[in-house]
Amino acid sequence: MSLLSSPTRPTPVEPLERASGRRPGHPALAAVVVALAVFLTLILVFHRAIPDVGGVGLIIDTIIPWLGLLIVPLAVLGLVARRRWSRAAVLVPVFAWALLFGSATVPLSWSAPAANTAAGTTLTVASQNIEASSSTGDESALTLAATGADVIALEEMTAPDFTTVSSTLAEKYPYSFGVGTVGLWSKYPVVHAQPLPLGLGWNRALAADLETPQGLVSIYVIHAASARPGEVSDRDSMLSALAETLPRDENQRVIAVGDFNAALTDRAMSGIEGQLSEANQSGGLFGNTWPSNMPVTRLDHLLQRGMQVTSNTTLSAGASDHRAILTALNL
């Protein structure tokens, strides 16, 4: 090299992302995505452990399946961050949601046993909170009777509602019992019927036996106290008392049906859920019942033991703010 030649400048090294044609990632955003993914997963898994301060626990328990929708914007942020580990982190709440709620969305029709064909070997139960102020209890009763249900349970009734509905259903449902805000009408004899206080000073539940050709079936009709943020003690007391009552029931076949004012994901349902089970919806998804015009949660349930559910659906009846539920079982 000549001493007079000008010195050469070193060639700058291009960043790896630019050299490979990729745009640089955002490590700070990726870290936020990971933190949010972990936080969402913890809420999904441990929502019942969140203190119910100011109604936060009630709200989260009720909407917990809907929190899965937060995975969508989280996934978008993971893509924007352009870090593999941020995208991988998004999969954690996906798997958590699938494990917790995925099976509940599978249509019952995919695995339900065939309905028995012999007379007296099946039981179909219809139930609805008729919303007393709607003044359409009679209309609801006629709609539910038209389904061919063997048993109709109504909640949030007034005394005039019981009289009117009993008159309407008398021909097809000769057996009935009502107390407080709940009523029961049946094609089968209703025996051992009694009010079920469940720890409250007024009657919002009943217990009875249905005399079916296959033997006695216990039925509890429930109209749980309302639940609002910060006001759940009466409802929780009722559901807890029901959970304590169930083990004393001597019948092999047991049904608890009505308006529980609680989603199945609510911590207040854990004692009942451990003894009775609710079948999936025949058509899949969650079968939400409230509010009827755009249901976001399922407050109305039929939980049972000792029988096989062959179908489970919801339907509109009357002008109530609750959708009705209809469940068919093999005895």
Domains of the chain, residue spans: 16-105, 108-330
| CA–CA gap between residue 270 and residue 56 (Å, rounded) | 18
Taking the chain, what is the end-to-end CA distance rounded to the nearest angstrom? Answer: 101
Residue 37 phi/psi, 5-degree rounding, is -65, -45
**Percent of the chain at pLDDT exceeding 90:** 87
- The domain defined by 108-330 carries CATH number 2.70.98.20: no
Q: What is the pLDDT of residues 232-258, one digit of tens each?
A: 999 999 999 999 999 999 999 999 999
Residue 16 binned pLDDT confidence (cut-offs 50, 70, 90):
very low
Could you tell me which of 173, 175, 121, 181 has the C-alpha nearest to residue 144? 173
At residue 6, the pLDDT reads: 53
Res 1 pLDDT > 50:
no
| CA–CA gap between residue 238 and residue 244 (Å, rounded) | 10
Q: What is the pLDDT of residues 90-143, one digit of tens each?
A: 999 999 999 999 999 999 999 999 999 999 999 999 999 999 999 999 999 999
| CA–CA gap between residue 263 and residue 59 (Å, rounded) | 10
Q: Please tell me the pTM assigned to this model.
A: 0.90
Token pair, residue 179, equals 């107390």
| CA–CA gap between residue 93 and residue 36 (Å, rounded) | 10
Amino acid identity, position 1: M
- Interacting residues of 99 by C-beta distance below 8 A, sequence separation 6+: none
